[in-house]
Structure 1
């Protein structure tokens, strides 16, 4: 994985914790949540405060996510909202943490100025012992406070202030007044600087989980279903009408269509579909060539066409299906009939613009494993797992391609492939670098490799 780390394709955008004050606060919060300590003097953390270095130190990379549910978190700075979530077991966890930080940024900024904020994403399930338990996770509630209990003290002080104002003889209650003074020393002046966290409950209806081999749960759609990346027969009886696995291609295709969750790439507005189809085909050629032990260094688009001609007999059916679709798009050839039975079918789709777009693109990436770009962008856990088994030639090619063609303009690449996404303010941005895209296409210089 060294190639990926060096190019910022793995463990990128983590927050560096290096000052003695922040390290001490983190260690205090770590002890508060887990009873453990770290002896490290600098490390990196993700949005939840998980650190790969501390995971190595403790020999436990689930130290903030025991059993894969009720994830705990440590906030040292609101800048963590820009960091990824590593070792995610639920697709909703990152969005919940990001929304929580965004909504309470002013309060959290004040709290983290003097202490770490430690908390937990709480649900009614302590351990997902069977798939049925996942359907009991309906609401995620965030419980958080500083390690010194600032919010707890502020809440108690607020109650005592209300009592002081309501009771006629409160001025003569020395015990009440002494307690109020003591709490005020810990929480500050709540009349001028009210400290209260809001938006701490979130619904979880449609989500992916890594439990039980990877499950996609769609409950809040017109036609609900669960789709398993593994064998559905081992899941047992579930409280949902339709259960599919990846072998049920026709049924998954119907599910996506009935719920209007996908659209054909070739018909997506404002999209250079031909360039994207060609790039998908190039990835398929690269996969075939690397499996044959070929040197992939310095390949051009002409080289890839030559390889495709020479080795057409061993190229998978996905290549032929995409080639036929590309011929229709570029040359007005016959419209290819690519049904859900065809291996290329899911390569021709992208998620429609719905609230579940990221979840659908994540599943599509797992159904189109040869498209390494979409797999990396939409489903990093599967990408990293597959990357480890690739030949060195393919590892080099993929790492170079992603660092050159994706890292330089992530927003532009994602917008071109998946449609516009809200920025940090919640507004839809204008086309990123439109002049450059018009000149070289949405994927950079697609004419070279």
Structure 2
């Protein structure tokens, strides 16, 4: 992993904690949440306050994520909103934390100037050892306060102030006044500087979880299903449709029925053919690894030369994508790629839906040779697979991501996954006659670039 760390591709954008005052605040929050402390004088933290160095020190990578649910968090600065989330157990956790910080940024800025804010993403279960518990996770509530209880005290002071102003004889209630003065010494003047965090709750209908081998739960779609990289048998009682990712036809049908995907070559505002060509390069790199070829310093031209020299040794998905690119760029023969074809999911991306990130994450797992999408959309799986690659593939992938992605992350994501509204309404296609073959755009709109998905094998 050293290459990734040196190029900022692993543990990148973590927040350094070096000041003794911040270390002490972190220790207070850590003890408040877990009863533990760190002896480190400096470390780095992610958006949730998790530190890989402290995880190693405590020999516990889940010290803020007990049982993989109800993630706890420690905020030392609002700058944490731009940091990644390490060891994620649920795909929605980072988005929830980021939204919570952005919605309360002014208040959190004031609170973290004096103390750490500690909290938890709370749902209705404390363990998912039993698969049925997954179905009980529907809402996530954010609870947070400083270690000294500033928010709680401010709410109490507000309640006492309302009572003082509303009760007729409150001016003569010495106990009430003394209690208000005591709390105000800790909170300051809450009438001029109100200390209040928004009560935030998030619905969790569709999500990925690391539990049970990596599971995608889709409940908020027209045709619900569970897709899993693990054993589907324990999950079968949870829903009518539960499929392993190896059941390609069922997965393809699920995505199509719910309108969750679109062909890369049909997506507006992107260069679909160029994206497919890059996927082809990644497939060549994977084949070169299998053949033991050296990729050190390999350029795009070198990869293309390898493809020409070893065309007969390249897997079928490479040739299927090549035919699709030829069709898109040169008007070549119409490609037929069924859902059983290894290239099928490489030709797709998420359509413009609310859960596009989750769908792209699923597609990344279905297309592990596309290392760029894998790194962007499913880092946990990327790091796990990276550890088993040859040194030559590790070197090539790290260099490529540092050169082609890390320098402009937002631009790369926009080019791959961005959506662009059509400039004008598309008129209905004219009727097909014997004299006129339908143009390619019409064929795509009807059946996609590979033909209709079969109902069964």
Using structure 1 for the length normalisation, give the TM-score: 0.91
Structure 1 residue matching 2:237: 3-state secondary structure:
coil
3-state DSSP of counterpart to 2:140: strand
Deviates more, 1:152-161 or 1:345-354: 152-161
Q: Does the 8 Å CA contact 1:100/1:199 hold for their aligned counterparts?
A: no
Aligned-residue offset at 1:236: 4.2
Measure, in 2, the Cα distance between the counterparts of 1:259 and 1:114. Answer: 49
Take 1:67 and 1:166, find their aligned partners in 2: how far apart are those partners?
A: 47
Instruction: Note the 1:28-43 alignment, pairs <5 A.
Output: 28-43=28-43
Task: Name the CA distance, whole Å, in 1 between partners of 2:299 and 2:181.
Answer: 74
Q: How does 1:295-306 map to 2 (within 5 A)?
A: 295-306=294-305
1:351 aligns with 2:350: yes
Q: Distance in 2 between matches of 1:40 and 1:99?
A: 30
Q: Distance in 2 between matches of 1:100 and 1:304?
A: 44
DSSP 3-state at the match of 1:235:
helix
> CA–CA distance in 2 between the matches of 1:211 and 1:81?
25
* Partner SS for 1:244: strand
Residue 237 (structure 1) aligns with: 237
What secondary structure is seen at the aligned counterpart in 2 of 1:73? strand
Q: How does 1:44-443 map to 2 (within 5 A)?
A: 44-238=44-238, 240-419=239-418
Residues in 2 aligned to 1:269 and 1:200: alpha-carbon distance in whole angstroms: 35
Number of residue pairs matched?
Answer: 420
Check whether the contact 1:261–1:351 (CA below 8 A) recurs between aligned residues: yes
Q: Deviations over 1:185-226 (max 9, x none)?
A: 111111111111114211111100000100111111111111
CA distance in 2, matches of 1:247, 1:342: 12
How far has the Cα of 1:140 moved from its partner? 0.6
Q: Please say if residues 103 and 199 of structure 1, whose CA atoms lie closer than 8 Å, have aligned partners that are also in contact.
A: no
> C-alpha separation between the residues in 1 aligned to 2:404 and 2:343?
24
Contiguous gaps of at least 5 residues in structure 2: 421-457
Q: CA deviation at 1:272?
A: 1.2
Shift of 1:330: 2.1
Contact 2:120 2:143 in 1 (8 A): yes
Q: Secondary structure at the match of 2:262?
A: strand
Per-residue deviation, 1:280:
0.7
Gap runs ≥5 in structure 1: 422-449
The match for 1:16 is: 16
What secondary structure is seen at the aligned counterpart in 2 of 1:295? coil
Q: CA deviation at 1:234?
A: 3.3
Please identify, of 265-274 and 62-71, the stretch whose mean Cα deviation from structure 2 is larger. Answer: 265-274
Q: Distance in 2 between matches of 1:23 and 1:302?
A: 50
Deviates more, 1:7-16 or 1:247-256: 247-256
Does 249-258 or 380-389 show the bigger shift? 249-258
CA contact (8 A) 1:17 1:42 kept: yes
| Aligned-partner Cα distance in 1 for 2:312–2:2 | 34
| Cα distance in 2, alignment partners of residues 217 and 85 from structure 1 | 20
CA distance in 2, matches of 1:307, 1:329: 23
Equivalents in 1 of 2:395, 2:303: separation in Å? Answer: 16
Is the contact made by 2:270 and 2:416 (CA closer than 8 Å) also made in structure 1? yes
C-alpha distance after superposition, 1:220-245 (max 9, x if no partner): 1111111111221233411x221111
- Map Cα deviations across residues 356-407 of structure 1 (whole Å, 9 max, x no partner): 0100000000000110111011100110000000000000000001101111
Secondary structure in structure 1 of the residue aligned to 2:142: strand
Instruction: Give 1:172 deviation, angstroms.
Output: 1.7
Q: Distance in 2 between matches of 1:185 and 1:27?
A: 24
Scaled by the length of structure 2, the TM-score of the pair is: 0.90
**What SS does structure 2 have at the residue aligned with 1:237?**
helix
Q: Distance in 2 between matches of 1:299 and 1:82?
A: 33
TM-aligned CA deviation for residue 61 of structure 1: 0.9
SS in 2 for 1:13: coil
Q: Hey, what's the Cα distance between the residues in 1 that align with 2:175 and 2:419?
A: 59
SS of residue paired to 1:407: helix
User: Residue deviations 1:77-119, cap 9 Å, x none?
Assistant: 0010010100000000000000101001111111001100000
Compared CA separation, residues 166 and 373, structure 1 to 2 (3 A): same
Aligned partners of 1:267 and 1:317: how far apart in 2? 22
In 2, distance between residues paired with 1:306 and 1:71? 48
In structure 1, distance between residues paired with 2:174 and 2:344: 76
CA distance in structure 2 between the aligned counterparts of 1:241 and 1:382, rounded to whole angstroms: 27
Q: Deviations over 1:10-33 (max 9, x none)?
A: 000000111111111001100100
Q: Is the 8 A contact 2:349 2:360 kept in 1?
A: yes
The more displaced of 226-235 and 381-390 is 226-235
